[in-house]
Amino acid sequence: MGDRSGSFDGVHRRNLARVLGLVHLEGPLSRARLTALTGLNRSTIAALAGELVELGLAEERAPDPTNRVGRPSPVVAPDPRIVAIAVNPEVDAVTIAAVGLGGRIEARERIEVDHLVAPEETARLTADAIGRWRDGELRHARFAGVGLAVPGLVRASDGLVRFAPHLEWREAPIRAFVEEATGLPTAVGNDASLGAIAEHLFGAGRGVDDLVYLNGGASGIGGGLIVHGRPVGGTSGYAGEFGQNRPGIASNGDRRAAGGVLEDEVSRARLLDAVGLRGADEPTLAAAIRSALEGPAGDAARVADELDRQRRILATALANAVNVLNPSLVILGGFLATLADLDPAALRAAMAAQAMPAAADDVDVRVAALGEDRLMIGAAEAAFADLLADPLAAAG
Amino acid sequence: MGDRSGSFDGVHRRNLARVLGLVHLEGPLSRARLTALTGLNRSTIAALAGELVELGLAEERAPDPTNRVGRPSPVVAPDPRIVAIAVNPEVDAVTIAAVGLGGRIEARERIEVDHLVAPEETARLTADAIGRWRDGELRHARFAGVGLAVPGLVRASDGLVRFAPHLEWREAPIRAFVEEATGLPTAVGNDASLGAIAEHLFGAGRGVDDLVYLNGGASGIGGGLIVHGRPVGGTSGYAGEFGQNRPGIASNGDRRAAGGVLEDEVSRARLLDAVGLRGADEPTLAAAIRSALEGPAGDAARVADELDRQRRILATALANAVNVLNPSLVILGGFLATLADLDPAALRAAMAAQAMPAAADDVDVRVAALGEDRLMIGAAEAAFADLLADPLAAAG
DNA sequence: TCGATATGCGGTCAAGCGCAACAAATCCGG
DNA sequence: CCGGATTTGTTGCGCTTGACCGCATATCGA
């Protein structure tokens, strides 16, 4: 029963976490604003802020010049020296970044590889990058931990990658490898789930407590859920695998001949195919689709058909999620954002037609906001989680 | 900002709620057991228990005779005089019950009606029942509130029934009606969602923090989710409408000609049809199916086919939910329980075949445990919610 | 009957937050 | 340029609450 939540100690820790969490999420805040946001007393906020400064987690600055009467309030900001290391191994590269407590990317490296990286190699690359930064541009930084965004199934309890098809990792104890190599506490998560967390905290889903996030990548469709303002992991942390779902009803009689799942039907590869590309980044693909739609009639019709087909199937999947979860927001990233952007009204209408009217009325569909920083921010968030949950235990 | 969660007051209230919640959920507990379960000090538990007794929410009894050494510890039990009124309007009857804090049904009435009850009439029937009980068998009871389990879409914020197709209620402010008629604080919820809560707290889902509940009734398929140990309502409280989902992939080419949703394909009416019945309770239906399967070969094959078809479609819907939510348990109630019981292995296998292997491995499929008391218990839980969340505010 | 175990009870202690009074910093109007 | 109004930081005090300690008490087993 080590939680101590019923005791004074618990209150103090919670309040400390609350203040740190606020400056982490909202950026620098005046003490006055913190008293208003937390409901705590001025004197309490002063004490808590002082304690965070002493722990090296926050800093207090001179008040911002404001044009209002009254004594100016000092500004509490996350200590810029606290950073987390975010790592995202992919098929063609490993991206490593140092992310500050405030959410800023302090440093970033994309290490191109000409072979599939093994888990051990990923750990080594991470340790190397940390070493370089420790001696160089981040000489004064304190490294809070490492967060990995892995494109595959990750068991939350021990950070084991059950299966990452494109990296060809199986039952890889990546957390252990990275902790061993770096000496830092490490968190591991599914890339799409971490993307959902990032969008929820800093992106298109700010302040929204119930949302569904779907991301379309080259490797398939992943996603994540936020319920009650908290990320949903499920029992083992596998939650959010929308790509494996089967939307739409099987036509009567046939025993589900085509075993197609969502990510077989709604796929980036099919879009590339339709416009005759072989690998392109998202803007290129979007531009190619747009120009194809305005090109020769035959091509245009074929591309429009494929877009329409994918949009309808995606709409069914979204409608299913909306019926079950009644979210206030659906966020689409990757090529799903492209698909949505090409005709937002059509997607919305198709979804509304298949979801319960009441639930469909509540839901907003938006495009992801964070771009290529998303996974770095999500992974850093995972790395910061312990610190933010209990600053005293993690930094004291 | 009236939550006071950061202050001592907050600690005290939380601890009080914790102790009351434990005796509510687990039944009578010795003070010694409470200290172990909460991690609080002996003296603290003694004080909290005393306070609950003074508030009239609990009672302390002489120690149970135990065969262990040491001084026996007094037993803390929920005060049997505290009751909630649970109401479930249906097409052919309104069921009203008085449920004790311990979860026991203290009184119950099923009022048959020969017409569809209006919301106002439901409120009146509830007030009448309370009046009779107040003067009669529950003379000494304290009524904590009213909980309604409505077979339809309920907006959580104000207890408005958006649409209850079988009752033909539309935009019915049932909460206001019942509060007006009874003078008691009233909570309203969807019947299946409340059933999920009941099964989670007292039934097949005890102690399970991530579960999916699906109930098959005459009117369709409803459900509820528990995530992080908390019921999921969504933005407006509509969450859990699995019946409106479309499982299975549309066969290529055709534009989803059959617009069938889950509850069109997996339905009690079709099962009744298959065995040639016209309305029967669940045991009768189950018996009819079993005997049909052992009857003439032609009939048996037809019934088996229909069972198989429904089972496959249900399995797809379950697999979708398992992929997205990674629950540790799926609970099936109503005719879905019958469907599962007839061949549990087949259902499980069909689900596992369509879900991600890792997620499918984690999940257990069980049949609901509470029977006809389920909705009464769920509705009572909704009525007790305020009291359990903050005993001081609600009873002081 | 006595020792071991476990609990209740009362008192003391420490910790955390709210509160109130005072001081400081800013704006505004004359 | 000055004084009042306003807002907020600072400081010391007091209240509340739960932990801890010592002692009394209750039960069981030898």
The per-residue pLDDT for range B337-366, each reduced to its tens digit, is 999 999 999 999 999 999 999 999 999 999
DSSP 8-class letter at B46? H
CB nearest B328 (choices: A235, A249, A261):
A235
Separation of alpha carbons B147 and B187, rounded Å = 5
Task: Say how far A73 CA is from D8 C1', in Å.
Answer: 6
- In 3D, which of A327, A83, A258, A11 has the Cα closest to residue B238? A327
Task: Say how far B75 CA is from C17 C1', in Å.
Answer: 34
The strand pair at B142-150 and B82-89 is best described as parallel
> CB B225 to CB A324 under 8 A?
yes
Separation of alpha carbons A388 and A35, rounded Å = 19
* Minimal C-alpha gap between B159 and chain A (Å): 14
Nearest CA in chain B to A7: B11
- Examine the pLDDT at B225 and tell me if it is beyond 60: yes
* Minimal C-alpha gap between B105 and chain A (Å): 31
**A279 or B172, which is more confident?**
B172
- Examine the pLDDT at B257 and tell me if it is beyond 50: no
Residues lining strand C at under 7 Å (Cβ) are A 8-9, 11-12, 15, 39-44, 47-48, 63, 65-72; B 6-8, 31-32, 35, 42-43, 45-46, 68-74
Q: Assign B389 a pLDDT band (cuts: 50, 70, 90).
A: very high
Cα separation values, A317 from A263, A320, B8, B249, B385, Å:
11, 5, 47, 10, 34
Residues 315-354 of B with CB under 8 A from A: 316, 319-321, 323-328, 354
Instruction: State the nearest residue by CA to the C1' of C10.
Output: B43
By the CB < 8 Å criterion, does A284 face chain B?
no
3-class secondary-structure state, position A314: helix
Residue stretches of chain A with pLDDT short of 70: 1-9, 248-259, 396
Q: Find chain A residues with C-beta within 8 A of B40's C-beta.
A: 6-7
Residue whose token pair is 């009650």? A228
Separation of alpha carbons B396 and B394, rounded Å = 6
DSSP 8-class letter at B232? -
Task: Say how far B396 CA is from D24 C1', in Å.
Answer: 34
By residue count, chain B amounts to 396
3-class secondary-structure state, position B209: coil
Task: Say how far B44 CA is from D17 C1', in Å.
Answer: 9
Separation of alpha carbons B384 and B184, rounded Å = 12
Work out whether the CA dihedral B347, B352, B355, B359 comes out positive or negative. positive
Cα separation values, B124 from A345, A366, B141, B147, B188, Å:
46, 45, 20, 14, 16
Backbone angles phi, psi at A265, to 5 degrees: -90, -40
Work out whether the CA dihedral A317, A320, A324, A327 comes out positive or negative. positive
Strand C footprint nucleotides (protein C-beta < 7 Å): 3-11, 15-20, 23-28
- Examine the pLDDT at B69 and tell me if it is beyond 80: no
B188 contacts: CB under 8 Å, gap ≥ 6: B147, B148, B150, B154, B159, B160, B161, B174, B175, B178, B382
Give the helix ranges, DSSP H, for chain A: 8-26, 31-38, 42-54, 119-135, 174-182, 191-202, 262-265, 268-275, 282-293, 297-325, 335-342, 344-354, 357-362, 374-389, 391-395
Strand D footprint nucleotides (protein C-beta < 7 Å): 4-12, 16-21, 25-29
B150, B382 in Cβ contact below 8 A?
A: no
Q: Tens digit of pLDDT for each residue in B271-321? A: 999 999 988 899 999 999 999 999 888 889 999 999 999 999 999 999 999
Q: Tell me which amino acid residue A392 is.
A: L
> CB B251 to CB A254 under 8 A?
yes
Q: Tell me which amino acid residue B223 is.
A: G
Nearest CA in chain A to B245: A320
Instruction: State the nearest residue by CA to the C1' of D29.
Output: B69
Element (H, E) at B392: helix B391-395
Residue A384, Cα to own-chain centre: how many angstroms?
13
* Minimal C-alpha gap between A47 and chain B (Å): 14
DSSP 8-class letter at B357? H
Q: Find chain B residues with C-beta within 8 A of A42's C-beta.
A: none
User: pTM value?
Assistant: 0.93
- Examine the pLDDT at B259 and tell me if it is beyond 70: no
Separation of alpha carbons A160 and A208, rounded Å = 30
B352, B360 in Cβ contact below 8 A?
A: yes
B240, B246 in Cβ contact below 8 A?
A: no
Residues 355-374 of A with CB under 8 A from B: 355-356, 358-359, 362-363
Determine which of A179-188, B72-81, B83-92, B229-238 has the lowest per-residue pLDDT on average: B72-81
Element (H, E) at A225: strand A220-227
pLDDT of residue B163: 95
Residues 75-114 of B with CB under 8 A from A: none
Angle between helices A335-342 and A297-325 (to 10 degrees): 110
Region B330-340 average pLDDT: 97
Task: Say how far B9 CA is from D16 C1', in Å.
Answer: 8
* Minimal C-alpha gap between A331 and chain B (Å): 15
Q: Tens digit of pLDDT for each residue in B122-137? A: 999 999 999 999 999 9
* Minimal C-alpha gap between B177 and chain A (Å): 22
By the CB < 8 Å criterion, does B239 face chain A?
yes
DSSP notation for A49-60 = HHHHHHTTSEEE
Q: Find chain A residues with C-beta within 8 A of B1's C-beta.
A: 36, 38-39
Residue A334's DSSP bridge partners are A216
